[in-house]
Structure 1
Amino acid sequence: MSRIDRLVGAITGHTRVAIAAMLVLTVVLGAGAGMLEQSSSLDQFQSDTPEAQSLEYIEGNFSTGPDNTTTVQLIARGDNVLDKQSMLGLLDLQQELRENETINGTLAENNSIVGIPNLVATTAIQQEKGAELQQTGTELQETATEFEQLNATVAEERAALEQRSRTLNATTRDLQTALTVLQQNPDASVEAQFEQVRSNTSVELDGEDFATFQQAAQGVRNAQNESQVQQAYRLGTQGVLADQYQQLQQRGQELQEQGERLRELGSELQTLNEEFESLNAEFENASNPTLAEQRDRLESMNESEIDDVLTLLLGESDGSGGNGDGASSFAFAFMPTDFDTGSTEAEATMLVVTQESDAGQTAETTGQSSDAITDSQLAMQSIASGENAEEYGVNDVLVFGSGIISQETTQSMTDSIAIVGPLALLFVVVALVVAYRDLIDILLGLVGIFAVLVWTFGFMGWAGIAFNQLFVAVPVLLIGLSIDYAIHVFMRHREERNEHGSESVRGSMRVALAGVGIALVWVTATTVIGFLSNLTSPVPPIQDFGIVSAFGITAALLVFGVLIPALKIEVDAFLEGRGWDRKKQAFGTGGGRFSSVLAAGSTAARRAPFAVILVALLVSAGGAYGASQVDTTFSQEDFLADDPPEWTYDLPEPFKPGEYSAKENLDYVNENFLRQDSQAQILVRGDVASADALQRLDDAQQEATESNVTVVLSNGEADVRSPLTVMRSVAASNETFNATFTAADTDSDGVPDRDVGEVYATLFEVAPDEAAGVVARTDDGEYEAARLVVSTKGSASMDDVTEEMRAIASGIGGDGLTATATGQTVLFKIISDQLLDTVVQSLIITLVATFAFLMLTYRITEGSATLGAVTLMPVALSVTWILGTMWLLDIPFNILTGMITSLTVGLGVAYSIHLSERFNQELDRTGDLWESMRRAVTGTGGALLGSAATTVGGFGVLAFAILPPLQQFGIITGLTIVYAFLASVLVLPSLLVVWYRYLGPGRSTTTGESTRATAAED
């Protein structure tokens, strides 16, 4: 007794033990399903490539913006979104977004929502504050000038008065001395004394003054008492200088008035200075006014004033990297790329919302957003889009962000399962009704399918394998393969009971399992080889898919080889013990139309086997040519669904799908706007603080600017950022850096050619954030890397973008510098190339491994290794057929269809194995070639047709999936099964005949000779 016979005997002889053991395994494995996680991130498809490492380095060493942020693009469309009403409406929309708790909790701290309305209002506020500041500054300057002039005048006048006062006092003393001389010396000459005083003073003394002095001298000489003397002295001094003292007093009063004016000017100057400082602070804050301040300012402006600001922001460039008034081209990033520069009208404009994502996660690079980001972006969509847009003065608002993309990708997975899962089960049930025509067998088949799914998803949970886009196909795949096993076991069981006279349920099942069991083991082994060949793929999810699928098909073998047969024995025995007849006709046997159709292959093999083989080879040659023309693709668009057909919205809950707009919105953004997440980067490492490195970066920047994949804003400027663009921008607004930059640029070509390290150091001092965005500096102050950021067209192909960026990078590298092109598009291109490698490698590995396995096993079991090669030959031919069909249907290799070659071999070989195995069993029984072929084709062929129908139907329902790759995968896999079935029942019989005659027992046995004679007579 062989091992397979002993194993089958143990199963059929101890059915209750087998059932209990399998149920325990089902419970244990099924517990892992609760740990199963779901992921729609495209980041999981990346492998550890130099480009991926470079992007990781950039994110860790450059300031790429606020940490852990993502952006949402809101595209407002209308007749003219730049008029006052529309812009006020968009500001109201922003206020509505901020007031929503779900949204507000995710908004970045500063400038979280920016668009043309904000720029217009902010610019108008800055202009207003700037005009006030300028007026106050002028008044302050004028007042300060007046103050300084008056202060100087008062100082001079005070000094002159003091000097005049001293002179008058000295003259007074001289006059007094002269009067004393005249009093004491009656002979002294009055005139001589007066002339002496006048000659010693700068005071102008005239004849009237002499007359007064003469009178005073006479009074001094004639005075009778002291009082008369004092009176004469007063007349001779103060009386003489009375006019002078009066003028001095008058000038003193004038000086006092000037002092009062000076104090008034000082107070006015202090007030103006305080007002200037306040206005200056307001002007600085005007670059970030509140939303309420923006709306108030915009509300106060008329259309003409708004148009003036729009012209300022969106006017013609002066060729210096900005507009003629110094405004940057930043505003053009919010306008369509075909916007008419200088116009004040547009049918669309963009708001950019910056959100803070979860720590350690950047949605732009991972392709998946947190629940908070997703919920907030869905809330934006609910508030802004649809009929609500009219409330904000526009026709509609398109919301595009990573959260919505992530949600729609996940939703398409869920909706696809909700639609295709029941459809697949329904189709399987219908197919089983046709094949089985028995409720008990149908229910047993469904129980087996459920158990296989529980095992598989439980395994994923225990193994920590997340459910992603690929695994939507797993339930359908396992349903189709599981039911194959059930049909083969049940049909063989029925044959044994009806055609071979086995009365015992247990006995017929034992014969059936022994007969078909070895084929099922070989089928499982070869299918597992096909799935596990995906382990050679560099794409991690494809490796996981191979592992999970291999486990699932192994689970199917155990469930339908142990659990279901044991249940079948117990149920049928129980029912027959109560008088129920459980004998059923096997599908495809007993003659009739199906038998005739299935016999076509054996008939052709009997009449013209070489002709059949030649036709198959010619068709395969055409398929091989088509295979060389199939494209490979991997992009975000591949996973975005179109809006589902209208009939799906008539489905009841929970089968009714959601609405999908991300793909249409993505196409619109790609065609009309700068995509915030569409950037290519070139990382340059080495001695970047050298003149040679800067020159290479400048050359690369120029090359990127002229590239046809680079986004050109509507003002004609390419959106490219590098250390040099940052330097030039900072130099235009900062005098300190401009001096350093100019001094280092000795030939005035805009590229520093000396002291580059000093230029970097100054740049980091005056503009640290801008510098850190393009230059990486170590803690020791060494400049070790720089980067070039290029905004690429969303509509540009991955091939073009990658080729351009790599060409630009190649021009930078060398002489100690390394340059690597990276970015999302470049990484997607690498994944696309890896998919093609997966197609080729998995096909080669699967074919080689399966050939080796079948040749070895058939050598051991049948004594002929060549039978293994013959068995696989139809499957190898069907591979070319399916690849040629992909070319005809314009279906590319993507993340799912890229596995079709290994799947074709893994799934298709089952049909050939079953037929070859049955043919050899019948050959042992009858010893006649044609009788063995007839029995194999009509017996096993019926089971093959049933399993093919259920598998094709199961995969075919994927055409109704929401996820586009699933639709293509379902169509191609369904055709794969069709081709494998046709190859097994039409081509394999001819190959078996040729093998039998030339390599098998027919080449020397009597049976072979009689067979050939019979064939000749026919």
Structure 2
Amino acid sequence: MSVPDRLSEIVTGHSRAVIALMLVVTVLAGAGAGMVEQSSSLDQFQSDTEEAEKLTYIEDNFATGSENTSTAQVIVRGENTLSKDSLVETLHLQQSFRENETISQTLSTERPTVGVANLVATSAILGEQRQELQSLATEFEQLNATVQKERAALARRQAALNTTRQALRTALESLQEDQATSPRETFEGVRERTAVELDETQYDTFNRSVQLLRRATDEAEIERAYKQGTQGVLADEYETLEQRSQQLEADGERLRALGSELEQRQSKLENTSPSIGDQIEAIESLNATQYERALMSVLGGDSNGQLSGLGFMPTDYEPGSASANATMLLVTHQTSGEGQAGAASQQLIDAQLTMQSMSTDQIGAGDSEVIVFGTGIMSDEINNSMGDSLAIVGPLALIFVVVALVVAYRDFLDILLGLFGIGAVLIWTFGFMGWAGIDFNQMFIAVPVLLIGLSIDYAIHIFMRHREQRQENGAYSDDDVRGSMRTALAGVGIALVLVTATTAIGFLSNLTSPVPPIQDFGIVSAVGITAALLIFGILIPAVKIEVDSVLENRGISRQKRAFGTGNGRFSSVLSAGATAAKKAPVVILLLALLVSAGGAYGASQVDTSFNQEDFIAEDPPAWTDNLPEPFAPGEYSMKENLEFVNQNFVREDSQAQLLFEGDVTDPETLQRLSDAQRDAAESDVVVTLSGGGADLQGPLQTMQQVAAENETFNATFTAADTDGDMVPDQNVEQVYDALFTVAPQEAGNVIYRSDDGYQAVRMVVSTSGTAAMSDVRSEMAAIADNFDSGGLETTATGQIILFDIVQDQLFDTVVESLLITLVAVFAFLMVTYRITDGSAMLGAVTLLPVLFSVTWILGTMYVLEIPFNVMTGMITSLTVGLGVAYSIHMSERYKLELDRTGSVWEAMSRTVTGTGGALLGSAATTVGGFGVLAFAILPPLQQFGIITGMTIIYAFLASVLVLPSLLVLWTKYFGPAASFELSPEETATPTASDGGRPNEREE
């Protein structure tokens, strides 16, 4: 007894034990289904690449990487969003955000909301303080000038008095030595040589000192005479000098106090953060002239530092204009840093949904419109579209399957058994996901539909073969239910195992993909198809035996005609391939090759796509408005909003980064950074702000901005820039140190400093939302390549670059999975058929129609402009895995009938009407199942449903139209000896198959 016979004997002979065992396994597997978690983050599609590692390095070591913040863009659109009333409305909205508990608990503690309204209000509030500060600065400068001037004058007077005193002493010494010299003449000589004006009173004092000196008899008298003749003569001048010195000291104290007050007020002014209430009051109190002045101070185009508001305006805004049709408010959320990378927490989702609702109520109720664009709302729409898609396509898939089964089975109990089996397969599959820790993402919405279609194929083939076995020569046989099922399982079992193996190979070929979700999809799908084999090959047959036996024991007949037999309309249609094979098999083969050549050309033109937009649903079609709850989908506006943001604003999440590692304190590094900055600014993919400059941030921009606002750092920065090009060319490390001292947050954003010194710097480049990812990647890579020398390692990274890498990997997945699947399936079939039938060539013949269908489906993708994405990127391996099942069933049935009858045409007739009918039923259910994905909300699922449905159609057509001709040619040149003669019996109704088992009645 063969292995298939022994296995079928076990299933049919111990059906109740088999049912009990399989139900226990189902319960155990189902326990894991509740552990399946949902994820919509696109970060899960990223693989381990150098660019991904460098982005992690940035997040770990630069200031922005440890903040765990997320930014939402609130965009107000209206006739004039820069009007006074509009800005006040925006401030009231911000106040509502901060007062709402759901929103406030997520807001960052530092500047949680900022926009043009805040900057204008702050400018107005600081205006008066700046005037007072300017007045104080003017007073300080005047007093400082006076003090410096007086200090210099006193120094000169002190020097003059000291010189005069020395001249008087010298004169006294000469008079002491020469008693005949006239004191008058000597004094006049001193007066002529000194800058101090000496009068007669001073001469009298000098003359008395001369007389005293000439009469002196001891040293004390001499010293007293010298003192009187020098200091005594200049006593009034020294007293005046002392008084002026005391006044200068008082002025100095006042100057120091004034300087301290000026510094305190300056610091207070720089760190002023007025409340939203103060800001509202400030703007409302401005008259038209004051408001325009405050607005222009922010949007005039020459505003610098923190009060520049051009970054909040549309990219086509004209600086200095008092009118604009849109403006932006940035809301910064503080995130926990927990959960999956790139995934928005429920707290963040709730906050941004509340923001959208409040914005619509407060501002959108009038003539303005508000858009809230952030990861929270985007994640919510993606999650909702996943749920809405399942709510729509799940029931539709079951409806299509039920309708197809009604047509194929025409039996209520068999339909229920099929649905029960589908449920068991889904339980096993999702249970495996739970136990294996595989998250449910956008791709896995296709898994239930995929398994529904594939599972019912097994049921149709087994049930149809079972029905055929009970029907012989147009009449019903006396075989009981158990015996017929035993024969059916033995006959179709090998084909089902081969189908499962080849389909699993197709799914598992996705393990070669570097994209983790595609790997998971391949594993889960392979497990699911294996579960389908076990459920429909063991559990369902055993249940059918028990149910049918009970009913027939009570006199209820369970004998049904197999679909496609009986010379009906379907039989005639299915016989077309056999008829063509009789008349012109070579012509059929040539036509197939010709069509495949056209498909191959189209395949070379199919694009590859991996964009955030791919996963964002468009607004559902109008027909969904009539769906009842819970099937009615929600509203989706993110795709339209995203397009508006891309066209008009700088997207906060659309950035590329250049990471520079190595000796970043070398002056040559900063000069080359300046060159890289210039190259980036000139790139077409970089966003140009309304002021005309590129939106990028690096060490040089940061240093220049801080230097414009901080005099202390400006002095250090200027001293290090010897050639005046705003790029330090010496003492770079000291410049970095000073930058971290005065602006640690800004410095840490672009410079990485560890305990071992300065390790890296980075440049953040805002890219256009409309720029192709490949262009961004190539432009940034070119800049990095130009910089990557001289001991520096430069890497272009960022989310947009990682997404482009995934896009390339998707194409690699298409090619690699196709090649692996083809080679593996080809080898498997050839070895299998060589062992079982002694003809490896039959394996090649069986696979050839599948190759045709691969080119047909790729050509169809080109015609329909469907790109390779995370879903359709698996279509080539799926085409082989799914399509080969139809060919295997046909080849297996033909081989068995050929062995039994020895007639090529009789074997072909039985194959295309018997197995062909089962294939038509399974194709109809599978196409219907996959076709309902076209009604999904997510665009990739729509495309996947359409293209997979076409795949099944092509595989079926190739198996019933092309494969018969190939089988005829195989039989003629490589197969066993068989008759090609038409016998009279072939015009009669084809007999039922017995599964390849010898007919005991004929023996």
Normalised-by-shorter TM-score class: 0.7 to 0.9
Q: Identify which of 410, 417, 431 aligns with 2:404.
A: 431
Give the aligned residue type for 1:71. Answer: T
Residue 877 of structure 2 is aligned to residue 902 of structure 1: yes
Residues 634 and 829, structure 1, Cα contact 8 Å, conserved in 2: yes
User: Residue in 2 aligned with 1:283?
Assistant: 269
Give the aligned residue type for 1:978. Answer: I
Matched residues, number: 898
Give the aligned residue type for 2:292. Answer: D
Residues 367 and 406, structure 1, Cα contact 8 Å, conserved in 2: no
RMSD: 3.0
Q: What is the CA–CA distance in structure 2 between the aligned matches of 1:953 and 1:771, rounded to whole Å? A: 59
Q: What is the CA–CA distance in structure 2 between the aligned matches of 1:557 and 1:771, rounded to whole Å? A: 61
Residues 512 and 813, structure 2, Cα contact 8 Å, conserved in 1: yes
Moved more, 267-276 or 481-490: 267-276
Give the aligned residue type for 2:67. Answer: D
Aligned 1:106-505 pairs, distance under 5 A: 106-135=106-135, 283-286=269-272, 288-316=273-301, 323=302, 326-327=304-305, 330-360=308-338, 366-385=341-360, 388-390=362-364, 395-499=368-472, 501-505=477-481
Question: How far did 1:268 drift?
Answer: 12
Question: How far did 1:737 drift?
Answer: 2.7
Residue 615 of structure 2 is aligned to residue 621 of structure 1: no
User: Residue in 2 aligned with 1:247?
Assistant: none
Question: How far did 1:278 drift?
Answer: 7.9
Aligned 1:676-687 pairs, distance under 5 A: 676-687=652-663
- In our comparison, the structure showing a higher alpha carbon Rg is 1
Residue 510 of structure 2 is aligned to residue 541 of structure 1: no
Moved more, 104-113 or 274-283: 274-283
Question: How far did 1:127 drift?
Answer: 1.0
Residues 305 and 709, structure 2, Cα contact 8 Å, conserved in 1: no
* 1:176-208 CA-partner distances (Å, limit 9, x unpaired): xxxxxxxxxxxxxxxxxxxxxxx9999xxxxxx
Match of 1:674, SS? coil
Question: How far did 1:502 drift?
Answer: 4.4
Q: What is the CA–CA distance in structure 2 between the aligned matches of 1:873 and 1:276, rounded to whole Å? A: 87
Match of 1:942, SS? helix
Question: How far did 1:139 drift?
Answer: 7.0
Q: What is the CA–CA distance in structure 2 between the aligned matches of 1:916 and 1:712, rounded to whole Å? A: 63
Question: How far did 1:86 drift?
Answer: 0.6
User: Residue in 1 aligned with 2:79?
Assistant: 79
* 1:717-756 CA-partner distances (Å, limit 9, x unpaired): 1011121112222222233333333333333322222332
> CA 1:531/1:266 → structure 2, altered by over 3 Å: closer, same or farther?
closer
Give the aligned residue type for 2:106. Answer: T
Question: How far did 1:853 drift?
Answer: 0.4
Residues 132 and 279, structure 1, Cα contact 8 Å, conserved in 2: no
Q: Identify which of 624, 627, 642 aligns with 1:648.
A: 624
Q: What is the CA–CA distance in structure 1 between the aligned matches of 2:620 and 2:356, rounded to whole Å? A: 19
Q: Identify which of 883, 889, 894 aligns with 2:864.
A: 889
* 1:971-1006 CA-partner distances (Å, limit 9, x unpaired): 00000000000000000000000000011114xx5x
Q: Identify which of 945, 954, 974 aligns with 2:929.
A: 954
User: Residue in 1 aligned with 2:899?
Assistant: 924
Residue 716 of structure 2 is aligned to residue 730 of structure 1: no
Moved more, 940-949 or 681-690: 681-690
Residues 416 and 963, structure 1, Cα contact 8 Å, conserved in 2: yes
> CA 1:271/1:738 → structure 2, altered by over 3 Å: closer, same or farther?
closer
User: Residue in 2 aligned with 1:31?
Assistant: 31
Question: How far did 1:474 drift?
Answer: 0.1
Give the aligned residue type for 1:516. Answer: V
Question: How far did 1:779 drift?
Answer: 1.0
User: Residue in 1 aligned with 2:154?
Assistant: none
TM-score by length of 2: 0.86
User: Residue in 2 aligned with 1:244?
Assistant: none
Residues 305 and 705, structure 2, Cα contact 8 Å, conserved in 1: no
Q: What is the CA–CA distance in structure 1 between the aligned matches of 2:279 and 2:982, rounded to whole Å? A: 100
Residue 793 of structure 2 is aligned to residue 818 of structure 1: yes
Match of 2:794, SS? strand
Question: How far did 1:550 drift?
Answer: 0.3
Aligned 1:838-917 pairs, distance under 5 A: 838-917=813-892
Give the aligned residue type for 1:293. Answer: D
User: Residue in 1 aligned with 2:672?
Assistant: 696
Residues 60 and 66, structure 2, Cα contact 8 Å, conserved in 1: no
Question: How far did 1:824 drift?
Answer: 0.7
> CA 1:683/1:143 → structure 2, altered by over 3 Å: closer, same or farther?
closer
Q: What is the CA–CA distance in structure 1 between the aligned matches of 2:126 and 2:11, rounded to whole Å? A: 87
> CA 1:374/1:760 → structure 2, altered by over 3 Å: closer, same or farther?
same
Q: Which runs of 5+ in 2 are unaligned?
A: 151-200, 205-247, 988-1003
> CA 1:1011/1:828 → structure 2, altered by over 3 Å: closer, same or farther?
farther
Q: Which runs of 5+ in 1 are unaligned?
A: 151-198, 203-261, 317-322
Moved more, 797-806 or 813-822: 813-822
> CA 1:456/1:882 → structure 2, altered by over 3 Å: closer, same or farther?
same
User: Residue in 1 aligned with 2:956?
Assistant: 981
User: Residue in 2 aligned with 1:222?
Assistant: none
> CA 1:710/1:142 → structure 2, altered by over 3 Å: closer, same or farther?
closer
Match of 2:70, SS? strand
Q: What is the CA–CA distance in structure 1 between the aligned matches of 2:85 and 2:865, rounded to whole Å? A: 48
Question: How far did 1:650 drift?
Answer: 1.8
User: Residue in 2 aligned with 1:92?
Assistant: 92
Residues 337 and 672, structure 1, Cα contact 8 Å, conserved in 2: yes
Give the aligned residue type for 2:363. Answer: A
* 1:485-517 CA-partner distances (Å, limit 9, x unpaired): 000011111111122624301111111111111
* 1:448-501 CA-partner distances (Å, limit 9, x unpaired): 000000000000000000001110000000000000000001111111112262
Q: What is the CA–CA distance in structure 2 between the aligned matches of 1:278 and 1:804, rounded to whole Å? A: 47
Match of 2:63, SS? coil
User: Residue in 2 aligned with 1:104?
Assistant: 104
Q: What is the CA–CA distance in structure 2 between the aligned matches of 1:566 and 1:200, rounded to whole Å? A: 138
User: Residue in 2 aligned with 1:234?
Assistant: none
Residues 122 and 294, structure 1, Cα contact 8 Å, conserved in 2: yes
Q: What is the CA–CA distance in structure 1 between the aligned matches of 2:262 and 2:202, rounded to whole Å? A: 55
Aligned 1:728-807 pairs, distance under 5 A: 728-781=704-757, 783-807=758-782
Q: What is the CA–CA distance in structure 2 between the aligned matches of 1:265 and 1:888, rounded to whole Å? A: 88
Question: How far did 1:767 drift?
Answer: 2.1
Q: What is the CA–CA distance in structure 1 between the aligned matches of 2:694 and 2:286, rounded to whole Å? A: 33
> CA 1:760/1:938 → structure 2, altered by over 3 Å: closer, same or farther?
same
User: Residue in 2 aligned with 1:531?
Assistant: 507
> CA 1:107/1:908 → structure 2, altered by over 3 Å: closer, same or farther?
same
Q: What is the CA–CA distance in structure 2 between the aligned matches of 1:329 and 1:618, rounded to whole Å? A: 68
Give the aligned residue type for 2:121. Answer: A
Give the aligned residue type for 2:726. Answer: G
* 1:361-419 CA-partner distances (Å, limit 9, x unpaired): 6x9xx44201110110111111112x54245x651100100011111111111110000
Q: What is the CA–CA distance in structure 1 between the aligned matches of 2:936 and 2:797, rounded to whole Å? A: 33
User: Residue in 1 aligned with 2:802?
Assistant: 827
Q: What is the CA–CA distance in structure 2 between the aligned matches of 1:553 and 1:268, rounded to whole Å? A: 89
> CA 1:804/1:63 → structure 2, altered by over 3 Å: closer, same or farther?
same
Give the aligned residue type for 1:77. Answer: R
> CA 1:310/1:931 → structure 2, altered by over 3 Å: closer, same or farther?
same
